Chain A
């Protein structure tokens, strides 16, 4: 199968039940105080954008997921890997 290039965007976020002090502080001490009370929730994380060769979108997702698990790119104790978007280059 011909290999195509894909752009895949991922975020590494604290697990839902874990604290996210950065996000909480941004929402409480910056947004809410400066007139943006309509923002009801904030989560923080790290963003990575990767371009890679794969056979399909699903294949690209699998490669990146395995890679992140393998290399401990996200901290499995406190974070989850979130695939935001995949599309062909």
Chain B
């Protein structure tokens, strides 16, 4: 089967071309950059909402893009279990579109932070993490000003295994120093109940090639490889 992945280009997205490059040239899957108004779910097996500043992050990060017709299309994919990944601004959009629960607020330092962090895998069964193992620690960079995750339904998320990643130290322990933005319980990424939709603040597309990584790792690639395998498994 030819797997087709879409990267949705919202007005103001910045990391769309980066995601396309990794999917097409590094992972090797048929990937289309689709202008948000033109996105049709029927054409694709999986979709990525990339990072950036859609609509300038005006009013609230992700809120205006959440009303795009592209999200109506993506909602169909959400319901039928196809993989959806929201990276950084993409995560913010999924939250505002209510694909994922909670809120993403301004970093507690009140400043934008661009740095490499470590995230620990808590759920290795989502569409994007099943090539990982629980407790794996990944090196992925962040670059955001509004990444502080908050929810008043923490217990629910924990019970339903919806917390996918937490900011950690290199050896996998949690402390406030490892938390770059003040997120509740160091939460870096979550998924929906059905585990086909994942949102995270760090940028796996920036950690997929050793040439870009401080320790020459390629942990970001695993996200996309997991997605491909997930799609293949679903079709059988």
Contacts and interface: CB of A to CB of B under 8 A. Distances in A.
B67 A34 contact: yes
A84 B56 CA distance: 28
A4 interface: no
Interface stretch (A7-15, A23-31, A54-62, A64-72): A23-31
Contacts of A25: 55-56, 58-59, 64
Interface in A35-57: 44
A76 interface: no
B67 A22 contact: no
Interface residues of A, number: 9
Interface string B52-84: 000110110001100100000000000000000
A30 B64 contact: yes
Contacts of A34: 67
A46 B192 CA distance: 34
A10 to B, nearest CB: 20
Interface of A: 21-22, 25-26, 29-30, 33-34, 44
Nearest to A22: B58
Interface residues on B, range: under 10
Contacts of B64: 25-26, 29-30
B194 to A, nearest CB: 28
Q: In the complex, which of the residues A25, A33, A34 has the most CB atoms of chain B within 10 Å of its own CB atom?
A: A25
23 contacts: A21-B56, A21-B58, A22-B56, A22-B58, A22-B59, A25-B55, A25-B56, A25-B58, A25-B59, A25-B64, A26-B58, A26-B59, A26-B64, A29-B11, A29-B55, A29-B64, A30-B59, A30-B63, A30-B64, A30-B67, A33-B67, A34-B67, A44-B59
B52 to A, nearest CB: 15
Given A22-B58, A25-B55, 12 more contacts: A21-B58, A22-B59, A25-B56, A25-B64, A26-B59, A29-B64, A30-B59, A30-B63, A30-B67, A33-B67, A34-B67, A44-B59
Contacts of B11: 29
Interface string B1-42: 000000000010000000000000000000000000000000
A34 B56 CA distance: 19
B99 to A, nearest CB: 19
A83 B175 CA distance: 45
Contacts of B63: 30
Contacts of A26: 58-59, 64
List of 3 A-B pairs having minimum Cβ-Cβ separation, nearest first: A22-B58, A25-B58, A30-B64
B193 to A, nearest CB: 28
A52 B64 CA distance: 37
Nearest to A34: B67
Contacts of A22: 56, 58-59
Contacts of A21: 56, 58
A21 to B, nearest CB: 6
A29 B59 CA distance: 11
